[in-house]
Amino acid sequence: MKISDLKGQIEDYLRYSQIERGLSENTITAYRQDLYEFLDFIKKEGMTSWPTKAVDIDAFLARQRDLDKATSSISRMISSLRKFYQWLARQDIQKINPMLEIDPPKKEHRLPVALTEEEVTTLLKQPDVDKKLGLRDRALLETMYATGIRVSELINLKLKNLHEDLKLVKVLGKGSKERLIPISEVALSWIKRYEKKVRDPLLLQKNKSSEFIFLNNRGEALTRQAVWQIIKRYCKMAEIEKDVTPHTLRHTFATHLLENGADLRVVQEILGHSDISTTQIYTNLTQKHILQVYKKTHPRT
């Protein structure tokens, strides 16, 4: 079989994936990149057909690792090849599927980015609270850091969810699960200040009503993208070079609680993790903090 025939099969598969399966252009582009890299390997190895032995697939994946490809990229390649070989079998082009013997690589457990307490303090001071949107943004940032809620939970937060007397807030998390979590007096005071000076007058001016706490200048609930842009803008102003997203404040909240002695189970409940193993990733961050404290305080280090 000629290499041009193999190229034709790739293109036939990509057309099938786009037309029959309705996959997005981005997914098709990723498949094309992976399959042509595989084809390039086949050419360099002097093969004239798709490999039928798992050892050849392993050799290709080893080459990818030698090129310092990320584990996520190699996992995607394995997925691309697995689907392609399944298609080859259905088309009676090649019945032997070596991908059945290939296991995906173990996922990398990357530590989440977290801000230091000093960076959080600097970030919170960036909004100009003498301006309407600045006051809203200060209340928003204080709420995220005080509660560790997800951005989806933040934008859906309603006034009726605040229990000021109990210093609790009710959020609707993943799987429509409700949970009550603590909120600091500081965050509550900023919310009340924003509500009185900005939110309520805005709704009155626009002749609108809304249950949601955090609104844009049109009196509508904020979007996830808007929150992302707010955080990016203030991080730039604070000269924080870390890649900070709304989820970073959630990571930071959990990390700071654990660094200051909070119980892991309590943090799990606050974050709304169904499995404690999800919360345990933060203990890796706090181990570094413990070592720093030890080195700084022990007289014989």
pLDDT of residue 2: 78
Phi/psi for 114 (5° steps) reads -135, 150
CA distance 36 to 10: 8
Phi/psi for 180 (5° steps) reads -100, 130
Active site residues: 150, 174, 247, 250, 273, 282
Quick: pLDDT tens for 14-54.
Answer: 999 999 888 888 889 999 999 999 999 999 988 989 999 99
- The answer for residues whose C-beta is within 8 angstroms of residue 20's C-beta and 6 or more apart is none
Quick: pLDDT tens for 240-278.
Answer: 999 899 999 999 999 999 888 888 899 999 998 888 877
- CA distance from start to end of the chain: 67
172: nearest Cα among 144, 149, 146: 149
Helix boundaries (H) for the chain: 3-19, 25-44, 54-66, 71-90, 117-124, 132-147, 151-155, 185-194, 200-206, 224-237, 246-259, 264-271, 276-279, 281-297
Please determine, for residue 292, whether its predicted confidence score (pLDDT) is greater than 70: no
Domains of the chain (ranges, CATH numbers) = 3-101 (1.10.150.130), 117-297 (1.10.443.10)
The token pair that represents 43 in the structure block? 């050419």
Percent of the chain having pLDDT more than 70?
A: 93
Q: List C-alpha distances in Å: 133 to 33, 46, 63, 244.
A: 44, 64, 52, 20
Compute the mean pLDDT over every residue in the chain, rounded to the nearest whole number.
90
- Strand order through the sheet with 168-172: 162-163, 168-172, 178-182
Average pLDDT, integer, range 95-100: 92
Pairing between strand 178-182 and 168-172?
A: antiparallel
Please determine, for residue 300, whether its predicted confidence score (pLDDT) is greater than 90: no
CA distance 7 to 84: 13
pLDDT of residue 111: 65
Q: What is the pTM of this model?
A: 0.62
